[in-house]
DNA sequence: CGACTCCTTGACAGCGTTCAACAGTAGTGG
DNA sequence: CCACTACTGTTGAACGCTGTCAAGGAGTCG
């Protein structure tokens, strides 16, 4: 029996979408970030546009007292840091060791051809759609619904692997869902007790979804 | 003494931004919606792009059990319904009697020149920035902070009038902030008791901000 | 004038937070 | 490779912010 574990590895060889944005002949580089290191900070000049090759990135905003809201997780293939303004509106850092491609931002916005404009709009629009859905989740869903939504999102984006390996901690998930890490933990335990999912080994980050329909039902 | 009450009336004569998007010579029309009527529904084909002339629009998503999350309020001068996909992702309806300009969506996306692409990106980017900030509010702020943020946003967008006239109900505000109308009401009363604001007359929708610095302090 | 909507306020319940203890894991350095 | 330490995650107990339910007043509109 074939078991697919966190697909998307194949995308790692070519920066597909980034190339569409900046043009085939533009300069782009690779860079590797250690776990926990910052890629760029909120309000810094937006010099580069990034695409994840391997690993995972979180983008977030902070309140002055340290409260954090994660806006998105970026997985292999995802573009992030594409700002129309001249500064980044989020801080971005590596959740685990992460490799990215990067291209200078000017190479996107300087020569806005009809084609690249459409490509840029498409990328911006996708993040707009994601964040709009996230509004409904943050404002109007319970902690169990939020956790179920999160699992379904990860499941979908990892292309429904037999086993899901989460790169982020319970605290990251909590700050993404607007709840505390304890509440995430309790929701996960509830879902496990109800037979919706099971943990592999003792790590608690390797998850098998046993009942996707039931999970989907929790969301609506 | 001059008292400016909800400025922006001047913008009502020309659809400034819309014209930049669709071109000077494009066809656009005016339309008037009665209080509470729907402009377009979520998942409907995105046929038109709108700009508010007079009144106020709310855009929102619904859960199957009726829970509602308002994504934005659109005031005179604001563009809404500009979707890159082919369907609307929100429902939009008129909070009060509202006049809008509208232009066919194709007139924006069919002839994507370098100039109109930049204009479109600018509009999309503005709504992206707004919704990103709203994530932090919904996920990580208390009800008092949310209410203070709301008041400051309205104050800013109405250009800091001496007296602020809110077009939306407590329920609308609640669904915008991800809390209940009772909690909004209590927060407003608290702010009144603390001398941050006062109500004019008995209507509770006409508000004078007495202490903007204190209000701003509550948010950070 | 009557019915309806909107808003405030009070009482109480409950979901999620806070604080704490503990176990298991992973990272670090000898 | 092992020991040490920090990190991560779970679970319990108590608290408190916000939601729920209810009552009542004021404004609005036909």
**With contact defined as beta carbons under 8 Å apart, do B98 and B57 qualify?**
yes
| Lowest-pLDDT choice from A34-38, A118-122, B55-59, B176-180 | A118-122
Give the whole-number percent of chain B exceeding pLDDT 90.
71
- The predicted model gives B37-43 an average pLDDT of 95
CA distance B73 to chain A (A): 14
Q: Is the pLDDT of residue A4 over 50?
A: no
pLDDT at A84: 79
Q: How far is CA B120 from the centre of its chain?
A: 18
- What is the b/e burial string over B43-57, where b = at least 16 CB atoms within 10 angstroms of the residue's CB? eeebebbbbbbbbbb
- Residue B201 exposure: Cα atoms within 13 Å on the Cβ side: 7
Q: Mean pLDDT across chain B, nearest whole number? A: 88
Distance, Å, A140 CA → D13 C1': 28
pLDDT tens digits, one per residue of B142-169? 999 999 999 999 999 998 889 999 999 9
Q: Is the pLDDT of residue A11 over 80?
A: no
User: Rounded to the nearest 5°, which phi and psi values hold at B208?
Assistant: -110, 125
- Identify the structural domains of chain B with CATH numbers, from first to last: 2-128 (2.60.120.10), 139-219 (1.10.10.10)
Give the position of tokens 């009772």: B182
| pLDDT band for position B93 (cuts 50, 70, 90) | very high
**Pairing of β B98-104 and β B48-54:** antiparallel
Q: What is the pTM of this model?
A: 0.91
Sign of CA dihedral A97, A100, A104, A108: negative
Q: How far apart are alpha carbons B156 and B12 in whole angstroms?
A: 18
Q: Search chain B and give the residue with CA nearest A125.
A: B84
Q: What is the CA radius of gyration of chain B?
A: 18
pLDDT at B20: 66
pLDDT at B199: 95
| pLDDT band for position B17 (cuts 50, 70, 90) | low
**Pairing of β B68-74 and β A197-199:** unpaired
Q: Mean pLDDT across chain A, nearest whole number? A: 88
Taking an 8 Å Cβ-Cβ cutoff, which residues of chain B contact chain A?
A: 61, 63-64, 67-69, 71, 83-85, 89-90, 112-114, 117-118, 120-122, 124-125, 127-129, 131-136, 138-141, 175, 177-178, 220
Q: Is the pLDDT of residue B26 over 70?
A: no
pLDDT at B7: 40
3 state DSSP class of B130: helix
Q: How far apart are alpha carbons A150 and A158 in whole angstroms?
A: 12
Q: How far apart are alpha carbons A122 and A117 in whole angstroms?
A: 8
- The predicted model gives B74-93 an average pLDDT of 93
pLDDT at B9: 42
pLDDT at A7: 40
| pLDDT band for position B117 (cuts 50, 70, 90) | confident
Q: Which nucleotide is nearest to B177 (CA to C1')?
A: D18
Residue B38, number of CB atoms within 10 A of its CB: 11
Interface residues 123-182 of A with strand D (CB < 7 Å)? 169-171, 181-182
- The predicted model gives A179-194 an average pLDDT of 97
Q: How far apart are alpha carbons B206 and B142 in whole angstroms?
A: 24
- The predicted model gives A108-134 an average pLDDT of 83
**Cβ <8 Å between B64 and A178:** no
**Cβ <8 Å between B68 and A129:** no
Measured between beta carbons, the chain A residues lying within 8 angstroms of B135 are 61, 69, 71, 131, 134-135, 138
pLDDT at A35: 93
Q: How far apart are alpha carbons A190 and B56 in whole angstroms?
A: 43
Strands of the sheet containing A206-209, edge to edge, are A164-165, A206-209, A197-199
Q: Is the pLDDT of residue B212 over 80?
A: yes
3-state helix, strand, coil in chain B (%, to 5): 40, 25, 35
Residue B80, number of CB atoms within 10 A of its CB: 24
Give the whole-number percent of chain A exceeding pLDDT 90.
71
pLDDT tens digits, one per residue of A146-167? 999 999 999 999 988 899 999 9
- Which of A67, A69, A128 comes nearest B128 by C-beta? A128
- Which of B125, B132, B177 comes nearest A84 by C-beta? B125
| pLDDT band for position A22 (cuts 50, 70, 90) | low
Q: Is the pLDDT of residue B15 over 60?
A: no
- Which of B83, B118, B129 comes nearest A112 by C-beta? B118
pLDDT at A23: 59
| Lowest-pLDDT choice from A9-23, A191-205, B125-139, B163-177 | A9-23
Tell me the residue ranges of DSSP E strands in chain A: 28-33, 38-40, 48-54, 57-62, 68-74, 79-80, 91-94, 98-104, 164-165, 197-199, 206-209
pLDDT at B25: 56
pLDDT at B90: 96
C-alpha distance from residue B88 to each of A199, B69, B85, B96 (Å): 39, 15, 8, 21
Nearest to A4 by CA among A200, A163, A203: A163
| B26 DSSP assignment | S
Cβ-based contacts under 8 A for chains A and B: 114
pLDDT at B190: 97
- Those residues whose C-beta lies under 8 Å from the C-beta of residue A203, and which sit 6 or more positions away, are none
**With contact defined as beta carbons under 8 Å apart, do B4 and B89 qualify?**
no
Burial of A38 by CB count in 10 Å (0-12 exposed, 13-18 middle, 19+ buried)?
A: exposed
| pLDDT band for position A12 (cuts 50, 70, 90) | very low
pLDDT at A20: 65
């Amino acid at each position: 029996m074939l078991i697919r574990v966190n697909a998307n590895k194949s995308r790692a060889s070519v920066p597909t979408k980034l190339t569409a944005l900046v043009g085939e002949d533009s300069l782009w580089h690779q860079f590797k970030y250690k776990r926990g290191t910052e890629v760029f900070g909120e309000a810094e000049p937006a010099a580069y546009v990034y695409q994840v090759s391997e690993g995972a990135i979180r983008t977030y905003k902070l309140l002055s007292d340290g409260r954090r809201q994660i806006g998105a997780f970026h997985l292999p293939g995802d573009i992030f840091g594409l700002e129309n303004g001249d500064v980044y509106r989020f801080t971005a850092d590596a959740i685990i060791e992460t490799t990215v491609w990067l291209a200078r931002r000017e190479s996107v916005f300087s020569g806005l051809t009809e084609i690249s404009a459409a490509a840029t709009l498409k990328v911006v629009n996708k993040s707009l759609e994601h964040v709009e859905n996230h509004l409904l989740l943050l404002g109007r869903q319970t902690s169990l619904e939020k956790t179920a939504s999160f699992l379904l999102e990860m499941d979908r984006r990892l292309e429904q692997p037999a086993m899901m390996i989460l790169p982020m901690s319970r605290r990251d998930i909590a700050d993404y869902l607007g709840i505390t890490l304890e509440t995430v933990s309790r929701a996960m335990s509830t879902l496990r007790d109800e037979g919706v999912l099971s943990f592999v080994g003792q790590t608690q980050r390797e998850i098998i979804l046993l009942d996707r329909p039931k999970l989907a039902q929790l969301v609506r």
